[in-house]
Chain A
Amino acid sequence: DGGITQSPKYLFRKEGQNVTLSCEQNLNHDAMYWYRQDPGQGLRLIYYSQIVNDFQKGDIAEGYSVSREKKESFPLTVTSAQKNPTAFYLCASSGTGAISPLHFGNGTRLTVT
């Protein structure tokens, strides 16, 4: 089955530690995205990548980093510089073009204490 896999589903970390969230897709999509969702809120864009080895900052990129070394993979690192990292993180992919809908993974819930 084609889709997007995010792992793990739940992640717990101590404050001050970096943590990497995994996102893999087998849809052969060129574009991939990371969004953050806080309770009762919409999605806010962290980073996106239209092609391998290239990515752009979204609205809330501070404290996050990404890499896009392979078409299938777009890992997100939440660094210790992110002031409020506890949130639900969603990865998505799409074909290129403005009319391509997004396909989402089922998210990773990160709790930092």
Chain B
Amino acid sequence: SQQGEEDPQALSIQEGENATMNCSYKTSINNLQWYRQNSGRGLVHLILIRSNEREKHSGRLRVTLDTSKKSSSLLITASRAADTASYFCATALANQAGTALIFGKGTTLSVSS
């Protein structure tokens, strides 16, 4: 079951520009997490936002959550070539303690210098 869907599938920008990725999900969640994956590597956790939070910041990252629309967005400001990677949202379902995260298909971000 694919809970989250990222949009766009691919994004190409210039260094210094902002990158925005969106994630939509289907059922009620406990929290939503964003991960980054460099090519051929494992995923790295970036940020977690709980269902009762609307916005969260971490360095150049800003995450928003709209539970009424079942959607989240990840904004990377002042992007760098090193931000080139795939970004995935993952959801932890509400009222289901002990279940695993469900991942979307990801957005591939390419930042050129």
List residues of chain A with CB under 8 Å of any chain B CB.
4, 6, 33, 35, 40-45, 48, 50, 58-59, 88, 90, 92, 96-99, 101-107, 109
Contacts and interface: CB of A to CB of B under 8 A. Distances in A.
A102 B2 contact: no
A104 B106 CA distance: 16
A42 B100 contact: no
13 contacts: A33-B100, A42-B4, A43-B43, A44-B103, A45-B100, A59-B1, A88-B40, A90-B43, A97-B97, A98-B31, A102-B101, A107-B41, A107-B42
A26 to B, nearest CB: 15
A99 B100 contact: no
Interface stretch (B12-20, B44-52, B62-70, B73-81): B44-52
B25 interface: no
A99 B31 contact: yes
Contacts of B48: 99, 101
Interface in B21-59: 30-31, 33, 35, 40-45, 48, 50
Contact of A43 (B1, B30, B88, B92): B88
A78 B30 CA distance: 32
A43 B41 contact: no
B106 A58 contact: no
B97 A102 contact: no
A109 B1 CA distance: 23
A99 B50 contact: yes
Given A45-B100, A98-B30, A90 B106 contact: no
A52 B6 CA distance: 34
B74 to A, nearest CB: 15
Interface string B95-113: 0011011111110000000
Contacts of A99: 30-31, 48, 50, 92
